[in-house]
């Protein structure tokens, strides 16, 4: 029996951050399907980003005052940072879409945000199951496959964009939006890699 118990609250805090990632990704997908609702959806995504940011700060503050942590301090900090980065990218894509006053949405962008939604759901499942190595390994493999799927959608979407658009401003706008969504997918895979590293260290 441990004389000093490990603080288990970190697991719940990570789950809460991941929950907000899933919710914000679904809202981004909805935004790309229904740009007429962009103002409301951007506001809702920003609120989720704000909540996740507060939770991330709570994780770091708790880390500073916790004597015995459930796993390595460096890993706690890295996991918090990676989750926060994904949500920041989702929020950034939503805000850019609002700034650019997007109206006609390329099908590739809608498909890419749908892949991101599935990756976010996978991240949340991995975070909630992070105490079980089998779950983490399974979800990490799924995230790798989703990242590869996203890469294919990204390349096809960019090709269509350059082939079909005669307006260089539209090309610039959508290239940045595609890039942000793809970056979010890449960081979802990074979250899975961090979780797998934690799982292996604590097996």
At 55 the pLDDT is 96
Percentage of the chain modeled with pLDDT above 90: 76
What are the structural domains, with CATH classification, of the chain? 9-201 (1.20.58.220)
- Identify the pLDDT of residue 3: 36
pLDDT (0 to 100) of residue 5: 44
**Higher per-residue pLDDT: 203 or 202:** 202
Q: State CA 177 to chain mean position distance.
A: 15
Q: For the CA atoms of the chain, what is the radius of gyration?
A: 18
pLDDT at position 117 over 80 = yes
Are the C-beta atoms of 131 and 195 separated by less than 8 Å?
Answer: no
pLDDT of residue 7: 54
- How much is the mean pLDDT over the chain? 91
Q: Is the pLDDT confidence value at 171 over 60?
A: yes
pLDDT tens figures, 149-162:
999 999 999 999 88
The yes-or-no verdict on residue 69 having pLDDT over 80 is: no
Tokens of 74: 């460096």
Within 8 A by CB and 6+ apart from 51, the residues are 20
Candidate from 62-76, 86-100, 186-200 with smallest mean pLDDT: 62-76
pLDDT digits (tens, 9 = 90+) for 4-56: 345 578 899 999 999 999 999 999 999 999 999 999 999 999 999 999 999 99
pLDDT of res. 6: 55
CB 165 within 8 A of CB 171: yes
Q: Nearest-CA neighbor of 34 among 85, 109, 99?
A: 109
- Percentage of the chain exceeding pLDDT 70: 96
């Amino acid at each position: 029996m441990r004389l000093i118990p490990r603080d288990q609250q970190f697991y719940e805090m990570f789950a809460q951050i991941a929950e907000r990632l899933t919710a914000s990704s679904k809202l981004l997908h909805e935004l790309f399907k229904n740009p007429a609702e962009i103002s409301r959806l951007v506001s809702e995504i920003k609120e989720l980003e704000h909540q996740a940011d507060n939770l991330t700060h709570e994780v770091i503050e708790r880390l500073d005052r916790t004597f015995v942590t459930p796993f390595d301090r460096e890993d706690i900090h890295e996991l918090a940072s990676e989750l926060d980065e994904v949500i920041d990218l989702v929020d950034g894509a939503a805000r850019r879409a609002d700034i650019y006053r997007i109206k006609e949405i390329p099908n590739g962008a809608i498909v890419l945000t749908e892949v991101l939604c599935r990756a976010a759901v996978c991240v949340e499942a991995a975070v909630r199951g992070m105490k079980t190595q089998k779950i983490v390994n399974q979800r990490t493999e799924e995230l790798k496959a989703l990242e590869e799927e996203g890469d294919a959608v990204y390349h096809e979407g960019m090709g269509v964009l350059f082939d079909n658009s005669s307006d260089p401003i539209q090309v610039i706008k959508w290239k940045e939006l595609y890039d942000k969504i793809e970056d979010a997918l890449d960081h979802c895979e990074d979250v899975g890699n961090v979780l797998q590293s934690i799982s292996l260290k604590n097996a």
